[in-house]
Every structure is written in C-alpha cells, then in structure tokens.
Structure 1
Amino acid sequence: MLQRKFAEVVKSHFPSAIDAKDTSIQYLGKMQMEHDIDISKVLMATSVCSDDINVPSTTFFNVLFGPFIMGGLGGLPFAGQTGMTAFAHHIPDGGSAFIFYGPHIGITLDGDLGKMYRPRQEETGNSCGALMLALNRFHDSSYRPVINDDDYQQIKLEESLLDYREDILKSENKEKAITEATYNIIDKKIHKHIVSCKNEFHVDKVTLLGGIIINTDYGLDDYFVAKNFEVIDLKSV
C-alpha cells in the first residue's frame, strides 16, 4: 500500500519514472535482446552521487561486474579522462561496457522534493545534499564559488551549475530544476570523456543509461527516470 502511494507521488512530479528494480530488468533485457550484448561479460561504471543512499537503487549492481566508480558529489564524473581510461582498460576480454549515470533527488510521501527519511533518522534530510546546499547558496545573489582544496568537489559542482543558476531560481520547483540541470552537465561530460578516450577501449560497444534516481523512504523501492539509453559504436564516434 505504501509503495503504491509513493508511486503516485513520484509520478505526479516525474510521470515517466519507473521502479528502480524494473529499470534494471528492462534495460538489461534491451542490451541482451536488442543489441546482442552478453551481460555476463559487461563491466559497469557509475557516475552517480557518492551518497550512500544510492547503493541499493538498482539491481545492476547484483548482475554486472563492477562498479567502477567515476562519480563524486552530485554525480559529476570527477574521475575524468583518467578514470574513463582506467575503466576502458578493465573491461573483460570479449566483453562490453555499461555506464549508469545521473543525479538523485529525494521525495517524501507528502511530495516534498529534495527531502527524504534516511535510515534510523526521525527527521527528513536533504537528498541530494550537495545539490540542495548549492541551491541554498545560489539564493544569495552575491555568492560565487571559489575553488579550494578543502571542498573541491562541492565548489566545482556549484561552478558547473552557474550557467543554469538564473533558470533554476526562476523555476517553480527549484529542487527539481537543479537536479535536471545537473543531469545535463553529467550527460555532456560522460559523452565528452568517451570521445576523448575512445582509443583506450578494446571493445566495440559502450552502453549508456542516464537519468535521475528518485529516493523514497528507507526500505521502499527507489525510482528512476531514464533520459538517455544508447549503445555507442566506438568505431563511428
């Protein structure tokens, strides 16, 4: 019953969202049936937020090798070209590559975005904490992120979002807007790194699944909004 109620709340904000477990089944099936990919030889990489709440979000983790972790705060692929190259070198012989990427956002049963009940906590907390911190700082018109070694990833995340700042603050749902903007940033960076590192791969195909992870209450299934699924032929990149 509670899971059904959450499904209604999630779909009121994200109509195309599906259960995270169903996401895994659906896209693993596509890889096998439509693209003739042997999933027993697939190495998975992730570029999702380092938040612990994202670990159980999909069953990809239980089926594929890996994950090779590219993402840091907000899900940005902070491992960069060096990380993409290392990932390319780790793929099983005769295998394939799969990259799962995107930001995450919490939701409560009351429909509050950017919040969730975490394990063994009685009050709601931010999700994604890094993005909600950035959003809070962006409300100060005089704020400008300044890169420093002590909080590099957070500040770099905010710097990456500056071009979207005005649109985010004008949005009716700022929490959703900053999450959508972060997805766009991650998507562009993943594609850029694949192109720049294409000669490091010893396989022909790289599968991408990008979108937004939606965190619900602890113990209930999360949801996923798929925004990009593609199998890239590296010979044509």
Structure 2
Amino acid sequence: MWGQAFICGSLGGMLFCGKTGFAAAHHHAPETARIVYYCFTHIAIDNLGMIGTVYRTRSGMNEKTTACGALAAFTSEIASNKLNLHFDEEDIEMSMLKKHIVKATGLSTDSTNAPDLLAVTMAAYETITIDLERHARHDAEKFKERQYALFTGVQVHGPDGSDYCWLGKASLIINGVQSPLTLITNTVSSSRPGTATGGH
C-alpha cells in the first residue's frame, strides 16, 4: 500500500469532510493512484440478538455500551416526537447527521411510524454510499488514470469484543465508469482427514 490512510469519518460513520476534505485526501496521492475507500457505519448486537447495545468486557466495561450512540439518539428523538432538525453550533455533526440522512433517504420522521435503530442504521449506510460515490466520481472526472475501489456497509460489534462487517456494496471506478465489484470467496473443505479440496 502506498502512503498512509486518510481518516475522514464522523459520527455514525458519516462523510462530513465534504469536497474540501476529499480534495485534501486526493492531493496526497499520485495522479495514477489506485485508491481504496472503506466507509462503514456501525451497530451493536448482544449475545441474545438484541440490537443497539452490547457488553464490551475486553475493554473493561462492566455495563452495556451503545452503537451507534448517535444513531440511537436520532432514533429515540423520532420515536418520542422530539426530533430537532435545526442546526446546533454546539452539536454540529449530530445536527448534520439527522438532516442529511432524512434528506438523502426520505427516512420517516413521523413518531407514529417511527423507524427502529436497524432502519436508521441502514439509512445511514445508504447516505454514506451516496456521498462516497459522488465524491469519488467527481475526482475520477479530473484524474482519468486513477482507479477507485469503494466498499460501504455496516460494522457489527458483537459480545466480548467480537467485530464483524456486513458489506453492503462494493464497486470499481475505472476510466470514469462505475461498475459493481464482485468478490469471490475461495472455500476449502475437508472431505476426509488429510485431504483438502478447493473451489471458487
């Protein structure tokens, strides 16, 4: 890998660095670079399958922690009919998170039809994907020789420090054209002890 990662995540995994932040990141790469983006929101699932909180005993926590805390607070605001979409200078990222997700996905803000945390998390994932693809395509218009791989999804925090990733979408941008990226898993299974067969 050339160079170091350029971290641009915000609350909920949102991409609030905007065109200025993306331009700064891209200026650190050669004009012929191959750029990989990983943009994931996150959620917690405990050992009973309950969504939203999980014990993180490996980090020394003796009580459940929330993930994503910002998306959970957003979900609670909608359900309690206390959603505030006004810009708060003391809470800039949270203000932007709520307004941007609602605008990008049409997420219901009706307390009588309130989305649960999973639905809000998926709306965040969709919003992140839309933003990432737009910024990457914009860069590709100016740098024809660059190639881009885009991965978006949801990081899942499980019990006892276990973490997983659900890959929602993977795509490539080559010569300015975006196309799906199909990932092939090579599996190795043992038909009998000492014998392995591979397939893909």
- The TM tier, using the shorter chain, reads 0.7 to 0.9
**Alpha-carbon offset, residue 66 of structure 1:** 2.8
Instruction: Give, in whole Å, the separation in 2 of the partners of 1:144 and 1:121.
Output: 31
Give the number of the structure whose residues are more often helix, by fraction.
Answer: 1
- TM (normalized to structure 1)? 0.65
Identify the residue that residue 124 of structure 2 maps to in structure 1: 182
Identify the residue that residue 108 of structure 2 maps to in structure 1: 165
Q: Does 186-195 or 202-211 show the bigger shift?
A: 202-211
In structure 2, do the counterparts of structure 1 residues 167 and 193 end up closer, same or farther at CA, with 3 Å as the change threshold? farther
Q: Which structure 1 residue ranges, 5 or more long, are not aligned?
A: 1-39, 42-64
Instruction: Give, in whole Å, the separation in 2 of the partners of 1:184 and 1:114.
Output: 19
Computed over aligned residues only, the root mean square deviation of the Cα atoms, in angstroms, reads 2.4
Determine if contact 1:88/1:201 at 8 Å carries over to the other structure.
Answer: no
Determine if contact 1:85/1:200 at 8 Å carries over to the other structure.
Answer: no
Q: Which structure 2 residue ranges, 5 or more long, are not aligned?
A: 179-200
Determine if contact 1:107/1:114 at 8 Å carries over to the other structure.
Answer: yes
Partner AA of 1:127 in structure 2: A
Identify the residue that residue 49 of structure 1 maps to in structure 2: none
Alignment pair present for 1:107 and 2:54: no
In structure 2, do the counterparts of structure 1 residues 93 and 192 end up closer, same or farther at CA, with 3 Å as the change threshold? closer
SS of 1:104's partner is strand
Alignment pair present for 1:144 and 2:87: no
Alignment pair present for 1:213 and 2:155: yes
Rg (Cα) greater in structure: 2
SS of 2:150's partner is strand
**Alpha-carbon offset, residue 97 of structure 1:** 0.2
Instruction: Give, in whole Å, the separation in 2 of the partners of 1:88 and 1:122.
Output: 42
Partner AA of 1:194 in structure 2: A
Number of aligned residue pairs? 173
Alignment pair present for 1:196 and 2:138: yes
Instruction: Give, in whole Å, the separation in 2 of the partners of 1:143 and 1:168.
Output: 9
Per-residue Cα deviation, 1:168-220 (whole angstroms, up to 9, x for no partner)? 9747x712111101001111111111233334547421100111110113433
Determine if contact 2:80/2:111 at 8 Å carries over to the other structure.
Answer: no
Identify the residue that residue 17 of structure 1 maps to in structure 2: none
Alignment pair present for 1:70 and 2:8: yes
SS of 1:149's partner is coil
In structure 2, do the counterparts of structure 1 residues 186 and 153 end up closer, same or farther at CA, with 3 Å as the change threshold? same
Aligned-pair identity in percent equals 24
In structure 2, do the counterparts of structure 1 residues 69 and 203 end up closer, same or farther at CA, with 3 Å as the change threshold? farther
Q: Does 115-124 or 99-108 show the bigger shift?
A: 115-124
**Alpha-carbon offset, residue 138 of structure 1:** 1.0
